[in-house]
């Protein structure tokens, strides 16, 4: 399995870097975004390193989408957002900041005025961790 020792998401997948994981299987995982735009903002990634949509193979993409769907189901059950976007960025013009393929599971609220290039603001890690526990319990 391809791995980049300098990639933060590879380190999260390997358990070397900390994260609030809510789902994992042999090929993919979902964990809380550390800079959430809205409460429950989660990332789904393949375990293997692929920089972006152009490089990811179909099996890894399918596994990542499965993890995103599982996370979205838990977010829907626990947070009941007004909606959920799946967002996936490739390249600097799309504001990709981590070069490991990932899908944002992006809960929406009416009036949240999300723009596609949202700013990164540090989240409350205690609150993020507590919510991760609730989502993990709901993931089914
Ligand atoms: P993008 O800009 O589409 O590449 O999104 C990358 C996201 O990854 C961004 O919303 C912030 C998040 N992120 C960056 N570093 C970390 C980290 O170390 N842990 C977690 N949980 N999320 C991270």
- Kindly report, residue by residue over 47-90, the tens digit of the pLDDT: 999 999 999 999 999 999 999 999 999 999 999 999 999 999 99
CATH assignment of the domain containing 29: 3.30.428.10
Count of structural domains within the chain? 1
The token duo for 79 is 């947070």
61 found inside a domain: yes
Locate the ligand 1 atom nearest the alpha carbon of residue 37 and give its number: 10
Which member of 41, 49, 102, 104 is catalytic?
Answer: 102
Q: What is the total residue count of the chain?
A: 140
Annotation says 102 is catalytic: yes
Q: Is residue 2 part of a domain?
A: no
What is the per-residue pLDDT across 114-139, written as a single tens digit (0 to 9) for each?
Answer: 988 777 889 999 999 999 999 999 99
Pocket probe mutation, ligand 1, options 21, 97, 115, 129, max atoms within 8 Å of Cβ: 97
Measured distance CA(56)–CA(49) in Å, rounded: 8
Does 60 reside within a domain? Answer: yes
Q: How far is the CA of 78 from the centre of ligand 1 (A)?
A: 22
């Amino acid at each position: 399995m391809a791995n980049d020792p300098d990639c933060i998401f590879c380190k999260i997948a390997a358990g070397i870097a900390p994260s609030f994981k809510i789902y994992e299987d042999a090929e993919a995982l979902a964990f809380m975004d550390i800079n959430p735009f809205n409460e429950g903002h989660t990332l789904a990634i393949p375990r293997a390193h692929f920089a972006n949509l152009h490089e990811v193979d179909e099996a890894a993409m399918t596994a990542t989408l499965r993890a995103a769907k599982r996370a979205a189901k838990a977010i829907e059950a626990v947070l009941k957002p007004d909606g959920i976007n799946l967002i996936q960025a490739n390249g600097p013009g799309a504001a990709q900041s981590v070069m490991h393929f990932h899908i944002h599971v992006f809960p929406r609220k009416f009036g949240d005025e999300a723009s596609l290039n949202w700013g990164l603001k540090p989240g409350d890690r205690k609150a993020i961790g507590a919510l991760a526990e609730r989502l993990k319990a709901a993931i089914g």
